[in-house]
Structure 1
Amino acid sequence: MHTLHQDLGVPPAVNASGKMTALGGSVLGEGIIAAMSDAARHHVVMDDLTTAVGREIARATGTEDGCPTTGAASGVAIAVAAVIAGTDLSRIEALPDAGDAPCEVILPRGHSVHFGAPIRQMIALGGGRPVEVGSANKVTADHLSGAIGPRTAALLYVQSHHAVQKGMVTLAQTIEAGRRHGVPVIVDAAAEEDLRHWPATGADLVIYSGGKAVGGPTSGMICGSAALMAACRAQYNGIARPMKVGKETLFGLVQALREYGSATPGGHRARMEKLAARLAELPGITTRVVADEAGRDIHRTELTVDAEGAGRDATRLAAELAAHGIHLRDHQSLTGRLYIDPRPLRPDEEERLVAQLTALLEGEGR
């Protein structure tokens, strides 16, 4: 059967990298696909649907209310806009010009990440002025408190593998500083798995991706108090208008949240141990199983590539695999390390990965 993949000349990829935007986020379950198909067959009052989806987000996260978004990145922009403009329509329509409203968003320098775009730009889209404090590998609570002033709109904390993990101010310290100075705390927890944990810390607004750990379509959500979520939804009259979410995506997000609540995320450690043992037999490859650097319940197979033994370095090996449609997690390829993430990888795709690695390292690719 001829497929649209073939028509477009874009074959399906083998994703051993993780729930990555660059690889299309998640492969959707049949229940989610059915929900999106149902939405596609009917009209609906979008304001009513958005409000109803907010209730579903609240149920899943243990908060008062929620606001759906196109993704975690737009969630950052909308959350910033909400704390700056609230529900004041004149201010909403003026953004990203904040006028005389407090607009500084303070974040640790080690959290000023690039996730495909700079988070500073997402802050600016919402009318905020990012203020980085401390150094890339050292930020204390005193750095935060010392930067808070009359122009401060929020503190931003990024919980991500992209962020520096050592020497950073903790979320508890961030929240304490926010409480002491009367400043809301925004947490970007895009790919985190425990949807109830981060709101329970006392953060005022928490942002998640709907297309990563949750396993839904490309989407996102913000959760928090009813007042702040009303302010987030109000931004759809302003900067969030080009970020509006379609009815099919909203239905898919709700179904994903319902299914996610009944599922138990797993680290797949035993599976990765078996894979590591198989790949350790290949020339130039040393393997081990490692836990996720940001503390999530994920275990991956780490490949350390000896350039002489493998006939190429890690960066070239990753590129050669990508040319065959197989994508490894290559964030640290310059240090000689590649990673295999089990979550999006089907058993048949795992076998294809092993076969292709073997052909490259033992066959004519040498």
Structure 2
Amino acid sequence: MSSIYEKYDLKQVINASGRMTILGVSTPRQDVVDAVEYGLNHFFEVKDLVNKTGAYIAGLLNAEDAVIVSCASAGIAQSVAAVIVKDDANLLVNLHATQLTVPDEIVLPKGHNVNFGAPVGTMVALGGGKVVEAGYANECSAAQLEACITPRTAAILYIKSHHSVQKSILSVEQAAVVARKHNLPLIVDAAAEEDLFCYYQMGADLVIYSGAKAIEGPTSGLVVGRKQAVEWVKLQSAGIGRAMKVGKEGILGLTQAIESYLALEKTTGQQMVEKMTPFIDNLNTLNGISARVVWDSAGRDIARTEISFDESIVGRRTTDIVESLKTGDIAIYFRGYRANEGKIEVDVRSVTAPQLETIYLCIKNLFTGEGNA
């Protein structure tokens, strides 16, 4: 039988942009695939499966409880709904049609109100919440966060992400102090983060992770936190969570992925540097192009290649270069957040050495007229 690419006339993709949803995020290990297959081929009492896998994961993470959801975005929406609805049975099924009299404002730093592929505000609204921005786009202190708290505040939301503004923003620990002072839950969206322990330990009541990013599980999400708050999230399976349900295969796949993730040795940033060094050396032979190692802006141990184009020499805008490499015979995707500045980044975590050579040749060929490799 022809490959899936041939069957559906799909392009092969080189993912040099990282664990990105638009490219399918990651490629799970075989033990995760086996767990997914087992889930697909067996029946379970789903509520029991949810509760017991959640308890198992919580034990692994030294937390009070956990629940697997369909994705990190669903985790945000259901966590917001959870802290608004709590255990109100009538509001649970009428959140969409009720004029709320309970607190429904979700306070977050203005620099955290980002678009990660969809707006944070959309997820908050799906959960029945209203975003209240604290501070400014380039600054939010604990005092500025606290100043936005009113009797209508339902929770504080903190987005731990490279998408968020990093400078002059209070830490998770500082946000937790404010939350405790006002007896409010703190929700931390840590979708792509690699540390599954620290944010809960810092004082968050609910911490949300993508199952398919750092953990390299199936499409799924994890919410870990305080038992009462997690129980409220679980109740949302009869509310807005019904439209975001995760299958038995996803539950078992992510549970196995978390267990393996905690046991396996992680690839270090220095190992990434070693992997990309020949690639950088090759790029630096090209006229008008320079490359160097840069480190993750959110502080993770992730090294990437930054490629800078001198547009006056190469004769093309960097945004056009990025588009050309996406639309070639092989679709090559980069981290293009700074393409307007003439810079792109290559994330090597999901790229093989031969693929790095292909990327180099495709960039080189753009300026020699030989086309995409």
Match of 1:196 in 2: 197
Instruction: Tell me if structure 2 keeps the 8 A contact 1:60–1:196.
Output: no
CA distance in 1, matches of 2:140, 2:338: 24
Number of aligned positions between the proteins: 366
Secondary structure (helix, strand or coil) at the match of 2:367 reads helix
Q: Which runs of 5+ in 1 are unaligned?
A: none
Cα deviation, residue 12, structure 1 = 2.9
Counterpart selection for 1:280 from 284, 308, 315: 284
Instruction: Give the secondary-structure state (helix, strand or coil) at the position aligned to 1:250.
Output: helix
1:321 corresponds to which of 325, 338, 341: 325
Deviations 1:102-150 (A, max 9, x none): 1110001000010111101101111111101111011121111111111
Superposition TM-score, scaled by structure 1 size = 0.96
1:296 correspondence with 2:305: no
Query: What residue in structure 2 maps to residue 305 of structure 1?
Result: 309
Pick which of 39-48 and 16-25 moved more.
39-48
Q: Which residue of 1 aligns with 2:340?
A: 334
1:4-43 equivalences under 5 Å are 4-43=4-43
Residue 137 of structure 1 aligns with which residue? 138
Q: Residue 259 of structure 2 aligns to a residue in which SS?
A: helix
Contact conserved, 1:283 with 1:362, CA < 8 A, in 2? no
Task: State how 1:92-103 maps to structure 2 within 5 Å.
Answer: 92-96=92-96, 97=98, 99-103=100-104
Q: State how far apart, in whole Å, the 2-side matches of 1:307 and 1:69 are.
A: 45
**Aligned residue identity for 2:55:** R
Q: Is the 8 A contact 2:76 2:208 kept in 1?
A: yes
Output the CA distance in 1 between the equivalents of 2:127 and 2:146: 23
The Cα of 1:189 is off from its aligned counterpart by 0.5
Question: Which residue identity is paired with 2:162?
Answer: H
In the other structure, the counterpart of 1:347 is 353
Give the match's secondary structure for 2:240.
Answer: coil
Q: Which residue of 2 aligns with 1:62?
A: 62
> What one-letter code is carried by the residue in structure 2 that aligns with 1:297?
D
Task: Give 2:260's aligned amino acid.
Answer: E
1:361 to 337, 355, 367: 367
Question: Structure 2: how far apart are the matches of 1:203 and 1:217?
Answer: 25
Residue identity in the other structure for 1:359: N
**1 CA distance for matches of 2:56 and 2:115?**
30
Decide whether the 8 Å contact of 1:283 with 1:361 is kept in 2: no
Q: Give the AA of the match of 2:242.
A: R
Shift of the 45–98 alpha-carbon distance from structure 1 to 2, 3 Å rule, reads farther
Inter-CA distance 348–365: structure 2 relative to 1 (3 Å threshold): closer
SS in structure 2 at match of 1:362: coil
Question: Could you tell me how far 1:347 is from its partner in structure 2?
Answer: 2.3
Change (3 A) 1:242 1:299: same
Amino acid at match of 1:313: R
Instruction: Give the distance between the partners of 2:367 and 2:99, measured in 1 at CA.
Output: 56
> Once the two structures are superposed, what CA deviation does each residue of 1:43-74 show, in whole Å capped at 9, x if it has no partner?
11111111122123313432111011111111
Aligned pairs for 1:145-224 within 5 A: 145-224=146-225
Query: RMSD of the TM alignment (CA)?
Result: 1.5
1:14–1:326: 8 Å Cα contact kept in structure 2? yes
* Rounded Cα–Cα distance in structure 2 between residues aligned with 1:241 and 1:150: 30
TM-superposed CA distance for 1:363, in Å, is: 3.9
Identity rate, percent:
40
SS at match of 1:215: coil
Q: Which amino acid aligns with 2:38?
A: D
Q: Deviations over 1:313-353 (max 9, x none)?
A: 21111111111211111111111111110111122322221
State the shift of 1:365 in Å. Answer: 5.2
Q: Distance in 2 between matches of 1:342 and 1:102?
A: 44
Partner of 2:51: 51
Residues 141 and 178 of structure 1, relative CA distance in 2, 3 Å threshold: same
Deviates more, 1:308-317 or 1:287-296: 308-317
How far is the alpha carbon of 1:275 from its aligned partner? 2.0
For 2:156, the aligned partner's letter is: L
Change (3 A) 1:240 1:364: same
Instruction: Tell me the CA shift for residue 13 of structure 1.
Output: 0.9
Check the 8 A contact 1:187/1:205 in 2, yes or no.
yes
